[in-house]
Amino acid sequence: MDLLNTLVDKGLRREQPTREEALAVLATSDDELLDVVAAAGKVRRHWFGRRVKLNYLVNLKSGLCPEDCSYCSQRLGSKADILKYTWLKPDEASKAAAAGLAGGAKRVCLVASGRGPTDRDVDRVSETIKAIKDQHEDVEVCACLGLLSDGQAERLREAGADAYNHNLNTSEATYGDITTTHTYADRVDTVRKAHAAGLSACSGLIAGMGESDEDLVDVVFSLRALDPDSVPVNFLIPFEGTPLAKEWNLTPQRCLRILAMVRFVCPDVEVRIAGGREVHLRTMQPLALHLANSIFLGDYLTSEGQAGKADLEMIADAGFEVEGAGEVTLPEHRAQAGGGCGSHEGGGVCGSAAAAPSPAEPRTDLVAVRRRGAGTDVAPNA
């Protein structure tokens, strides 16, 4: 297929595909799907070999957010039956992080619900970063605390944070349909602040919120322009009690096409499969490892992931290897530029010529709300 040969060539040269080429990946048929995965897999292996980076989420503060992001189970007015708690103490967060690191994670993502941190919150998170790094010297720490005010990114960097996550989530054109309490421009501004402070920027998207193929290509092209080191791809988990509870639109094939498109547009960037992996990719998860080079181990912010042991077995069975603490994730040109990248987790449409948007069967049986790990007395799932 000429399209795929062109995209592989461009990916190996870090050349941006055209919008038409990116859209054509999303419009491929099921008959072509394995060819698409194989082509994007060549680009993945060129930049990241067969390594899989494991990341571990610690939810420092859960629920009770004043913002209204419609995909989020922690939003204002959410009726989702999730855990709600205020800031974990540094030693509690460090203990939670240790469980993930013991399971093979090399990055800990410290996440807090809310519009953005106060200066006191930045102090708390700085203490937490120190507590974690005192115990685990080599760990990468990414903070994900919402919109940043001037100077806060610099303070987090000084405290030892390696990266900052803030997702664009969807296209600029549809952002106002998803959230009204802050703007797309606010999000772009925070990613830029993190970048400017010397933090490795991590910014991604949520697929499955009713967006068009054009929206998906728009957001991924915008991400490429912002040049983050890592791009988490969330697949919407339609939590009961949120406005998007009925948006069961993704199929495993659609998820693979989306991941392939992201790989072609951001070839040398850490592409991470984030929330919704188990719910939407299901038995196709191992194929997705040919596209993404990074996943979360264990649970997500407010939902349960599959057991860490099952993830490790899947990686080995598929012929991949867990990236070690001493290995550099990013290709040399990025690592030398100072890059080193979590997520407000998506909590879960299809639309292409061949993969017609036949609504996926709701798999509510797979959506388990998290009841263990940080903020609970129950051992985490790592």
Q: Which of 17, 100, 146, 228 binds ligand SF4 (CB under 6 A)?
A: 146
Q: Which of 44, 51, 53, 75 binds ligand SF4 (CB under 6 A)?
A: 75
Q: Which residues of 323-345 are buried (b: 16+ CB within 10 A; e: fewer)?
A: beeeeebbbeebeeeebbbbbbb
- 341 annotated active-site: no
Tokens (6 digits) for 170: 């969807």
Question: Could you say whether residue 104 binds ligand SF4 (CB under 6 A)?
Answer: no
Cβ atoms of residues 163 and 139 within 8 Å: no
Q: Which of 26, 36, 40, 72 binds ligand SF4 (CB under 6 A)?
A: 72
Counting DSSP H helices and E strands in the chain, the numbers are 13, 10
| Alpha-carbon torsion angle 182, 175, 171, 113, nearest 10 | 50
Closest CA to 244 of 210, 278, 219: 210
Question: Could you say whether residue 65 binds ligand SF4 (CB under 6 A)?
Answer: yes
Cβ atoms of residues 238 and 246 within 8 Å: yes
Cβ atoms of residues 380 and 96 within 8 Å: yes
The smaller minimum CB distance to ligand SF4, of residues 92 and 186, is found at 186
Question: Could you say whether residue 344 binds ligand SF4 (CB under 6 A)?
Answer: yes
**What string marks each residue from 248 to 277 as x (binds ligand SF4 by CB under 6 A) or -?**
------------------------------
Question: Could you say whether residue 74 binds ligand SF4 (CB under 6 A)?
Answer: yes
Residue 200 backbone zone (phi > 0: left; psi -120 to 50: alpha; other: beta) = beta
Angle, helices 213-226 vs 19-26, to 10°: value is 130
Give the interface segment with ligand SF4, choosing from 67-75, 195-203, 217-225, 268-276 (CB under 6 A): 67-75
To the question of whether residue 109 is assigned a binding role by annotation, the answer is yes
Give the interface segment with ligand SF4, choosing from 4-12, 64-72, 260-268, 334-342 (CB under 6 A): 64-72
To the question of whether residue 44 is assigned a binding role by annotation, the answer is no
Q: Residues with catalytic annotation? A: 65, 69, 72, 109, 142, 202, 272
Residues that bind ligand SF4 (CB under 6 A): 65, 67, 69, 72, 74-75, 113, 115, 146, 344
Which residues are known binding-site members?
65, 69, 72, 109, 142, 202, 272
Residues annotated within the binding site for [4Fe-4S] cluster are 65, 69, 72
